[in-house]
Structure 1
Amino acid sequence: MRGSVRIGGPLAALLLIAAACGGSPTAEREDSEGGFGGIRDETADKIADINSELEGLSDEERREELIAMAADEGGIVSVYGSTNLDEMGPIIDEFEDATDVTVNYYRANSEDVLQRLIEEARAEFRGVDVVNTNGPEMTIIDREGLFAPIETPVSEDITQEGVLETWIWMYINTFTPAWNTDAISPSEAPKSWEDVLTKYQGGLAMEAADIDWFATLVKDYFVAEKGMTEDEAVDLFKQAASGGVVVDGHTLMTELLAAGEFDVTASPYLHRVLQLKGDGAKIEWEPAIEPLVARPNGIGIHSAAKSVAAALLFTEFVLTDAQALLPELDRQPASTAVEGGGLPTEYENIVVDAEAVVDELDKWSGLYDEVVRSSGEEVIED
């Protein structure tokens, strides 16, 4: 169904934070209004104490000790995440089989995960131990003081860019244009981002909340590499949206592409394109449009986690054993210990700078809202 044009979800989440905390998220980490500052220190101390106690153990011995500690905490870990159940489900099943620790998983889109965390902090409700979601939302959560510092020996295998003070890359989402092969012949397929945005007037679909994708291409490709001014680059996106369609959600957008509802999509997730193509859908993404835009999905321990050992156990499992499952789910592992893991090297890619996007979220949300409105059509919603 179609809904009215709306401001992207990340901006709505930012406005919620501003209402809760009296301003926009800043580069300086703050204690949440819910009063988790003191608890955050306690959680950090517990993580440090656990690491000190387990220092020198082998990987297998460390896991066995964490399993025992998690059992003492009650044998349950609460996880909030934006990873689809089709993908997180197998990871949770393997974790529960390996550890006998039960996972309570709340799944929602990244904006709703962020909103729930902010609301729980305001209410001083300690409902979650581990969070996994997109990089920009992870950055906002961190700046609100809702992550504890994390130190784990398993981070050594994660791609260097992906190890931060309070959260670690779990996998890498890749944005890539795709097209319906019934509508676009191989000779008509795009060869550049310029082709994607100018060649298919009226047949292009864009996603309603891809602010970070948009900001990254404007700054790091069209301005930095192609020498455009920022205004020129933004106008290119507005022209692309004019007469096209805007869709709320990457999964819906890619499924509608496969159904022939439009010719080209600008920013579907590569893993979903691969899944549908593998199922026989008439869609294609190769030859790849470079640079690919890569955005990390991260994992972190909540600053008010009740089950700290279980949270560390789950986080370490996701960063080790689960990494080998990700390619089977068409996800790009963050671990370089997995063949093909880390940032893809066979293509030129640009990584979304989550810190920079969040710093200027008001600006980029406003500009992308102008792009969305340039379509002149209502946003297509599920």
Structure 2
Amino acid sequence: MNTGGKARLLLAGLAVVLAATGCGASPTATGNKAGGGEPSAAEKFYTENGKLTGKQRRDKLVELAKKEGHLSLYTSMTSDIADIVTKAFTDQFGIDVDLYRAGSETVLQRVLQEQAAGFAGNDVVETNANELFALNSEGMLATYAGERRDLVPKAGQFNGWTATRFNLFAPSWNTNLVPKGQQPKSWEDLADPKWNGKLSMELGDYDWYLTLYGYWKQQGKSDAEIDKLFADMADGAKIVKGHTVQGELLSAGQFSVVASNYSYIVGRAKAKGAPVEYLPFTQPVIARPNGIGLMKSAKNPAAAMLFTDWLLEEGQKLLAEDGLTPAIVEGDDPLKGVEIVPIDVKAMVDNGDKWQKKYDKVVAGGEQVSK
């Protein structure tokens, strides 16, 4: 989901929109469409019903959503999670979901291109933080209010969208190759020469890189010290494109340690018997929010709002059951006592090209490998 060149891809996507409109305004800035002028019909619906709470809210949204009959969802969830989520929603409410699933960059491109053409293709979008930030910057996402959003940590509440889950970046290791107690215990440990040729880094993890860089700066490290730490990590590292592939290669023993895979990928592999581990967490844990946004141009606003409420309630349990980290934790918190550092989404979008280029130089010191 998080691949190289993402910042440049975002900028290219936005350029497509601006070129299509012939000016700097949002592509659908007139009438009842998204982006400016008078509120759209969907925005008016969200404002009116966002004030409702509890059973009254759920009952009204269910009634109106059933009249609409279906929901159009664009998402970058993995296919297995997307199927589980949409099936559960349909089974509970009898509302069919028109699902488009692709990588986050492709989801962004599709929405941008459809909006530029004045076509309202989706009612709701669930994807990565950078893409949601870009869509909201273009004025395509509507304000969502409600009790469930209020339960999401402040680090997951953004203008135009709300976190549904967090991807946790964590070092992981092959337990057949790394004896118990010998695993990395700090991010700095990844720069130890003992991991030369045994460590893997992901090709597009510039969001992890910029966040860890910033954290180390706050801890008093100099730029030179930080640059050396990353250079030492990359010295002899195996550079892999894609966290899923990286997890598979770790399970197969192609390398001993991965610098920054998602904890849920490693956890799933472990549950299936792979000799991999990521616990105890190396702290601080770097968390990237993935979230949901309501489209201003939605043709089915009741279904969109109902799905958003549901994904932040019943859907949270489904995500947790499949090993993901839900945005709302009710009951025992598995991350209690763990220091969490959220990615600075605004910095990632505003200066992403700069950080991508810096990270490209870092991983150029390693050896690119594939499955």
TM-score by length of 1: 0.87
AA in 1 matched with 2:4: G
Which deviates further from its counterpart, 178-187 or 211-220?
178-187
1:22 deviation in Å? 5.6
Structure 2: stretches of 5+ with no match in the other structure: none
- Mark the CA change 1:288 to 1:145 in structure 2 (over 3 Å): closer, same or farther: same
Counterpart Cα distance in 2 of 1:362 and 1:11: 5
AA in 2 matched with 1:284: E
The CA deviation string for residues 326-354 of structure 1, in whole angstroms up to 9 with x for no partner, is: 2211111211435428xx32311211111
1:27 matched residue in structure 2 = none
- Mark the CA change 1:149 to 1:275 in structure 2 (over 3 Å): closer, same or farther: same
2:76 matched residue in structure 1 = 82
Check if 1:97 corresponds to 2:88: no
Check if 1:108 corresponds to 2:85: no
2:139 matched residue in structure 1 = 145
Counterpart Cα distance in 2 of 1:223 and 1:179: 26
Which deviates further from its counterpart, 191-200 or 317-326?
191-200
1:13 matched residue in structure 2 = 9
Structure 1: stretches of 5+ with no match in the other structure: 1-6, 24-29
1:117 matched residue in structure 2 = 111
Counterpart Cα distance in 2 of 1:37 and 1:248: 43
TM-score by length of 2: 0.90
Residue pair 2:14, 2:112 contacting (<8 A) in 1 also: no
Counterpart Cα distance in 1 of 2:130 and 2:184: 29
Q: Give the alignment of 1:312-331 within 5 angstroms.
A: 312-331=305-324
1:33 matched residue in structure 2 = 27
Counterpart Cα distance in 1 of 2:108 and 2:17: 14
AA in 1 matched with 2:257: V
AA in 1 matched with 2:348: V
Q: Give the alignment of 1:273-288 within 5 angstroms.
A: 273-288=266-281
Q: 1:178 is matched with which residue: 172, 179, 196?
A: 172
Counterpart Cα distance in 1 of 2:100 and 2:234: 34
Q: 2:211 is matched with which residue: 213, 216, 219?
A: 216
State the number of aligned residues: 359
1:175 deviation in Å? 0.7
Which deviates further from its counterpart, 210-219 or 232-241?
232-241
2:326 matched residue in structure 1 = 333
Residue pair 2:10, 2:131 contacting (<8 A) in 1 also: no
AA in 2 matched with 1:340: D
Counterpart Cα distance in 1 of 2:62 and 2:147: 16
2:356 matched residue in structure 1 = 365
Counterpart Cα distance in 1 of 2:62 and 2:109: 31
Residue pair 1:44, 1:150 contacting (<8 A) in 2 also: no
AA in 1 matched with 2:347: A
Identical-residue share of aligned pairs (%)? 36
2:153 matched residue in structure 1 = 159
Counterpart Cα distance in 1 of 2:14 and 2:229: 31
AA in 2 matched with 1:204: L
Residue pair 1:171, 1:332 contacting (<8 A) in 2 also: yes
1:264 deviation in Å? 0.8
- Mark the CA change 1:286 to 1:363 in structure 2 (over 3 Å): closer, same or farther: same
1:21 deviation in Å? 5.0
Residue pair 1:36, 1:146 contacting (<8 A) in 2 also: no
Q: Secondary structure at the match of 1:202?
A: coil
Counterpart Cα distance in 2 of 1:18 and 1:97: 37
2:256 matched residue in structure 1 = 263
AA in 2 matched with 1:49: E
Q: Secondary structure at the match of 2:177?
A: coil
CA RMSD of aligned residues (A): 2.2
Check if 1:195 corresponds to 2:189: yes
1:15 deviation in Å? 3.3
- Mark the CA change 1:274 to 1:103 in structure 2 (over 3 Å): closer, same or farther: same
